[in-house]
Structure 1
Amino acid sequence: MFIKKAVASKEVKYEASRTFEDMPISRSLLTSLTKKGFSHPTEIQDKTYETLMEGHDLMGLAQTGTGKTGAFLIPIIEKLLQNNQRSYALVVVPTRELALQVEEEFRDMTQTCNLTTASFIGGTSVNMDEKKLRKPLNVIIGTPGRLLDLHSRGKLNLRYVNTLVLDEFDRMLDMGFAKDVQRIINELRSRKQTMLFSATLLGSQQKMIDEILRNPVEVRVSSGETSGDQIEQDIVRLNPGEDKFKKLVDMLNSEEFSRVILFDETKHKVNRLCGKLNKVGIKADQIQGNKSQNARQRALNSFKKGQIQVLVATDVAARGIDVEDVSHVINYERPVTFESYIHRIGRTGRAGNLGKAFTFVD
């Protein structure tokens, strides 16, 4: 059993010695960052900006919640503002939810800039995707399968991609996208810069990383280490004959369980567990593969806005979710692997905040 009791300790948050105003950033981008309430770069943003502006390849080791999306979007936007070449950036991500989050972040950062983007993900209309591609785009965001599908149809021209971002690269490999990623890279004839972001250093995949990156600069951030120090972890041990669902409901009725991600092992079990929670008066919704993309996005938005208390999820559907202030993660069924466990509990205790994770065991 890989679960242990760990008492969280408050991490000292990184404080940049400069503001965005101090950095060589265009006024229009600065205005958008200010509107978002961003005054200082996060650690990953502070340590990578000049490197990326100089055109170096990057291996960035940082978890979701550390500002890594801004770490690659800010220099991409700045470069686009500085030149109007017939080229664009391609951001490849493992999940639909993450693609939509990156698209939203880009739009927020370019409110005062004349730049365009679109996301291309499974579960949405291919015809609508083809329509979006008829207009010039500065940044294309997508999941590997849909990007390759559009390319094979002759609708997505990868010839003019000069900047490639591989976000949550470790998750992409976990989900079996290695060959798809390689196929995409093989089509990028004009690629000049690659940014690869991962939560963990993938020793077993080092050969592939070496083939993708050219003399990369490696940047690690303290909040990008494996989840644990910021998360109080414990088990929920059931006594013989004790009702597991009743125990869960008792926990969720406690005031401290304000925003909870609840993991079960299959799509069917997630659907059933979500229904049972709603029947006993606990506001819950679900994200799993049998749900349409619109339904998954509605559930995620409701969770972010605090309209529901519990988001029930499978491992795959929850990958890439970035929600602030998740109070607890509960493993209703314990994960099969340590890597899956680390991924699950990493939904809480983000970027210096404290979180709690519980795992049910018989």
Structure 2
Amino acid sequence: MDIFRTLGAGARFDKRRFAEDVKLFEQRRRPVEEFRGQHRIRVYGTDVPRPFQTFSDLAQQYELAPYISENLARIGFKQPTAVQMQCMPNRELIACAPTGSGKTLSFVLPVLHDLRSPQKVGFRAVIISPTRELAQQIYNQFRALGEGRKFKICMMTKMSTSQQSEDPRLRQKFDILISTPLKLVHAIKQDKMDLSSVKHLVLDEADKLLDLGFLEQMDEILAACSSPKLQKALYSATIPSGVEQLAQTIMKDPVRVVIGTKNAATETIKQRLVYVGREEGKLIAMRQLIQEGLKPPVLIFVQSIERARELFNELVYDGINVDVIHSERTRAQRDNIVNNFRAGKIWVLISTELMARGIDFKGVNLVINYDFPQTVQSYIHRIGRTGRAGRSGEAVTFFTNDDADFLRNIVNVMKESGCDVPEWMLSLKKAR
């Protein structure tokens, strides 16, 4: 409601009416602010729309197409999460929410709602993710939520790129594109991809995509999305201030949504640190955890491909049902490993940073940081593979004498996430 009434020529300012309008405005705003506070939703920006409380409210508030409501019920989405409640509005958006909090659905819903129905005008929505595994996961969610409307959804592969180059008419058959940056940039440079009709550009794991490793590729993609109606949305569990400042330069008056504490893990994860002394102490500590009894599935993170192989060989020797995934495995091998891990055929999976972002393993009971994470962002994304969608999980991080300088950063994340940490750890010197 606009509390400032338009005054005609010669009209006088009515103090009493103005005071009544202000009071009414505050009365209407207060329940919304209380609701946001209860769900730890913080918003920044102008004209931020109110959150919806249930999917029924969503359908009514935004005149959601019936097929979307039916698909939500069919898949089993009963109650929206905090990030989903606030991220429906058709606005440019920067959203920071914990791992496992339902960020994927929070951008799938508004995209499908705004596109309404299939059209043969070319891609109207592009979703970028840093890994193929995450892109596949997003693709599956769009397919599930879009059932009943026959949207043409394309996940960028070498095959799909070559097919589009053979017949230009194929370019107009698709509505939604999901891709990693490099594949899409190759297609743009070879004039195999027209993004001039794109209305929605979503960056999932935005802090990774706006990092130096991907920044040049993102510039190419942004330049190709030339429609004046383009709206951008950025999502991640961690958005450092530098990345946020960069994002502001490519967005128009974005709404910022922060769920919980910025750069913290979800409270459903029990986090603990294990001192192992020196490097050789890690394997001893690992075997102690195994002897105590691991409840699979378990995900172990290491710092390099070589270390992944070394640990794999040790655990195989110990008779553990284990496999290893990293960027040098073939696409077919990686898909097979992920499927087997989800199906319970693999109990322990060793991974590099490849699997640290976005991948949804709902049943993971334990994450072990065998090698100490190099950044707060890496730590949050790694442990976020457990404790997803309200489930409980555990994260164990080994640290040596060499990790002492970086320990306080992780301890602060633990404290912000509601974990009990020793006072002496909080008083450690900050890493330089």
Greater shift, 242-251 or 351-360, is seen at 242-251
Report if the CA contact (8 A) 2:53-2:80 is conserved: no
Structure with more contact order per residue of length (Cα contacts < 8 Å, sep ≥ 6): 1
Report if the CA contact (8 A) 2:263-2:380 is conserved: no
Distance 1:13 1:73 in 2: 21
Distance 1:333 1:355 in 2: 19
Give the aligned CA root-mean-square deviation in angstroms: 2.7
The alignment partner of 1:104 has SS state of: helix
The 1:83/1:268 distance shift into structure 2, 3 A limit, reads closer
The 1:224/1:321 distance shift into structure 2, 3 A limit, reads farther
Measure how far apart 1:243 and its partner are: 6.2
Report if the CA contact (8 A) 1:16-1:43 is conserved: no
Report if the CA contact (8 A) 1:13-1:352 is conserved: no
The alignment partner of 1:177 has SS state of: helix
**Alpha-carbon displacement from aligned partner over 1:209-246 (angstroms, at most 9, x marks no partner):** 12221111222223875116443332333478976435
The 1:339/1:81 distance shift into structure 2, 3 A limit, reads closer
Counterpart of 1:221? 259
Greater shift, 104-113 or 350-359, is seen at 350-359
* Counterpart check, 1:184 vs 2:221: yes
Alignment of 1:71-90 (within 5 A): 71-82=106-117, 84=119, 86-87=121-122, 88-90=124-126
* TM-score with structure 1 setting the length: 0.85
Measure how far apart 1:13 and its partner are: 7.6
Report if the CA contact (8 A) 1:238-1:244 is conserved: yes
Greater shift, 346-355 or 108-117, is seen at 346-355
The match for 2:377 among 325, 331, 339 is: 339
Q: Given residue 142 of structure 2, which amino acid in structure 1 is its aligned partner?
A: F
Measure how far apart 1:279 and its partner are: 3.4
Q: Given residue 167 of structure 1, which amino acid in structure 2 is its aligned partner?
A: D
Counterpart of 2:68? 29
* Counterpart check, 1:129 vs 2:164: no
The alignment partner of 1:196 has SS state of: strand
The alignment partner of 1:147 has SS state of: helix
- Structure 1 residues without counterparts, runs of 5 or longer: 1-11
The 1:76/1:342 distance shift into structure 2, 3 A limit, reads closer
Counterpart of 2:134? 98
Counterpart of 1:108? 144
Measure how far apart 1:360 and its partner are: 2.4
Counterpart of 1:156? 193
Measure how far apart 1:89 and its partner are: 0.2
The structure that is helix-richer by fraction is 2
Distance 2:372 2:95 in 1: 30
The match for 1:280 among 318, 321, 329 is: 318
Distance 1:32 1:153 in 2: 37
Measure how far apart 1:287 and its partner are: 1.8
The alignment partner of 1:69 has SS state of: helix
- Structure 2 residues without counterparts, runs of 5 or longer: 1-37, 41-50, 401-432
Counterpart of 2:351? 313
Q: Which has the larger radius of gyration?
A: 2
* Counterpart check, 1:303 vs 2:303: no
Q: How many residues align?
A: 343
The alignment partner of 2:334 has SS state of: helix
Measure how far apart 1:132 and its partner are: 6.0
* TM-score with structure 2 setting the length: 0.72
* Counterpart check, 1:208 vs 2:246: yes
Q: Given residue 188 of structure 2, which amino acid in structure 1 is its aligned partner?
A: H
Measure how far apart 1:253 and its partner are: 4.7
Distance 2:319 2:137 in 1: 30
The alignment partner of 1:161 has SS state of: coil
Counterpart of 2:3? none
